[in-house]
């Protein structure tokens, strides 16, 4: 989990949705065509799409290739980080704005590859999980600052869990690789450890009924927006069944606490490494963490 400044309202909407569907700029169809919804392998150039509050982001293995927003003239605008445009030997940049409007001579494949080259093990693992998990509805989700919490709280992944024919559960996942020092400790897991603090902070935020309702409403709208975008490129059937049901009006409820998704290699761990991991796993479980284990080839 990381932090950033934020507004106090949680939303999942696109201010430019009508333009995107009916009168988009020339670059939009190519960019959107690279979207691989959760459950679809990303392949060599595929991007993951996340709806924000008024904007959207497209990611390549956790690295933002594009932020799309509406400018003051009502036009769609494609923003990307300077590091994907200004390539220096060490990746250094002089002072100035870090985000720029994408240039007219779009070199999308090059920018996607540049972004992928900056991805870390954790983000690569998440993208591999998305290759087969069609229930993920959001990435890099930030809850707004509120009360004594002055910064937005970010969590890696948000997914939908089937409850019954009428209800879907919204689940937040913090993702770590199995060898991450932040989920390992030489003694008992301290009650003030980073991962447990994250869980408590999210539980505190979502214990407010108004906030919980706001988050559920936002993700119901998010599902509908994703459905409309997918329909525009004839990809609706690539969306997960739970997401499509939510877009059609299925009730959404919040999970009682966030979970910890731990990524392990697909290969068999050496005996000592396996024994050490099992010790840390038991500590997390004894501390009340909801664990989900996923094996990924990228850690082999």
Report CA torsion sign: 147, 191, 177, 121: positive
Strands 259-265, 290-296: pairing is parallel
Instruction: In whole angstroms, give the CA distance from residue 184 to residue 10.
Output: 32
As a whole number of angstroms, the longest Cα–Cα distance in the chain is 61
Q: What is the pLDDT of residue 60?
A: 94
Q: What is the pLDDT of residue 112?
A: 87
Contact 37, 19 (CB under 8 A): no
Q: What is the pLDDT of residue 147?
A: 62
Which residues are registered as beta bridge partners of 154?
A: 142
| Average pLDDT per block of 10 residues along the chain, 300 residues long | 55 95 93 96 96 94 91 89 54 49 71 85 96 96 72 86 97 94 83 78 84 94 98 95 97 92 96 95 92 96
pTM: 0.89
Q: What is the pLDDT of residue 98?
A: 61
* 3-class DSSP assignment, residue 124: helix
Q: What is the pLDDT of residue 84?
A: 60
Residue whose structure tokens are 């038991």: 282
């Amino acid at each position: 989990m990381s932090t950033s400044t934020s507004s106090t309202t949680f939303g999942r909407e696109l201010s430019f949705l009508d333009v995107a569907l009916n009168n988009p700029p020339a670059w939009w169809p190519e960019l959107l065509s690279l979207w691989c919804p959760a459950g679809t392998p990303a392949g060599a150039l595929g991007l993951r799409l996340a709806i924000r509050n008024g904007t959207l982001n497209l990611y390549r293995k956790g690295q933002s290739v594009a932020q799309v927003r509406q400018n003051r003239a009502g036009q769609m605008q494609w923003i990307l980080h300077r590091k994907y445009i200004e390539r220096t030997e060490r990746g250094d940049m002089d002072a100035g704005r870090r985000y720029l409007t994408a240039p007219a001579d779009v070199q999308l494949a090059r920018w996607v590859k540049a972004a992928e080259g900056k991805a870390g093990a954790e983000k690569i693992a998440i993208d591999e999980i998305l290759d087969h998990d069609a229930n993920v509805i959001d990435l890099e989700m930030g809850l707004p600052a509120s009360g004594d919490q002055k910064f937005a709280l970010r969590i890696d992944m948000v997914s939908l869990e089937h409850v019954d024919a009428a209800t879907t559960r919204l689940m937040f996942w913090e993702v770590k690789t199995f060898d991450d020092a932040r989920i390992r400790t030489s003694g008992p897991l301290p009650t003030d450890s980073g991962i447990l603090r994250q869980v408590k902070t999210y539980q505190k935020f979502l214990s407010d009924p108004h906030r919980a309702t706001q988050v559920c409403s936002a993700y119901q709208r998010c599902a509908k927006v994703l459905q409309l975008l997918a329909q525009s490129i004839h990809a609706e059937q690539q969306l997960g069944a739970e997401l499509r049901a939510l877009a059609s009006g299925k009730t959404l409820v919040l999970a009682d606490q966030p979970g910890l998704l731990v990524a392990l290699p697909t290969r068999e761990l050496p005996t000592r490494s396996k024994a050490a991991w099992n010790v840390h796993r038991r500590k997390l479980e004894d501390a009340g963490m909801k664990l989900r284990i996923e094996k990924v080839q990228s850690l082999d």
